[in-house]
Amino acid sequence: MSNLSLKIVKLLTKKKLTVSFAESCTGGLLASSITSISGSSKIFNMGLVTYSNNTKVKLLKVPKKTITKYGAVSYETCLSMVKNLSKTSKSNISISITGVAGPNGGTKEKPVGLVYIGLKKGSKIIVKKNYFKSKKRISIQKATVKQALKMILNIL
């Protein structure tokens, strides 16, 4: 991950772009992967760990009815998270993450390893549904961070 993180920090610095994250199931791991790189203060704007539904509603203005209707782990919630993070942070690139890291908490509809990653850059918004097949919580979290970093790289 550190190679990807380093590459992103260098590219964002060169392009004078900023980034912000709203993480749920990764608990700040994405922010940590960027802030562990020297010089990241030039490009890293903010990182929120909106773990509970309550903080998704209060801090990210995700409508309560979106979470009630679709669940916290859904395309709709992830989309709302990234759009509202973008408004709040004023960063050039915003990332939102919500998923089931396991090993418990999965259902047939939303199994352990299901993670949505949202990215917003300018008017472009991508919400990607991922299914990481590991049963280990840390493996799912690391795979999610790697996927989010790749999404950032792809848009740069």
pLDDT higher than threshold 90 for residue 75: yes
Q: How many CB atoms lie under 10 A from the CB of residue 133?
A: 10
pLDDT higher than threshold 80 for residue 65: yes
The neighbouring-strand residues paired with 93 are: 19, 121
Quick one: pLDDT band at residue 100, thresholds 50, 70, 90?
very high
pLDDT at site 54:
97
pLDDT higher than threshold 90 for residue 1: no
pLDDT higher than threshold 70 for residue 79: yes
How confident is the prediction for the chain on average, in pLDDT?
96
Write out pLDDT tens, residues 102-146. Answer: 999 899 999 999 999 999 999 999 999 999 999 899 999 999 999
Whole-number percent of the chain with pLDDT over 90: 97
Rounded CA gap, 25 and 113, in Å?
Answer: 10
pLDDT higher than threshold 90 for residue 40: yes
Number of domains in the chain: 1
Question: Range of 95's domain?
Answer: 2-155
pLDDT at site 2:
76
- 104: which DSSP letter? S
The pTM (predicted TM-score) of the whole model is 0.97
- CATH number of the domain where residue 79 is located: 3.90.950.20
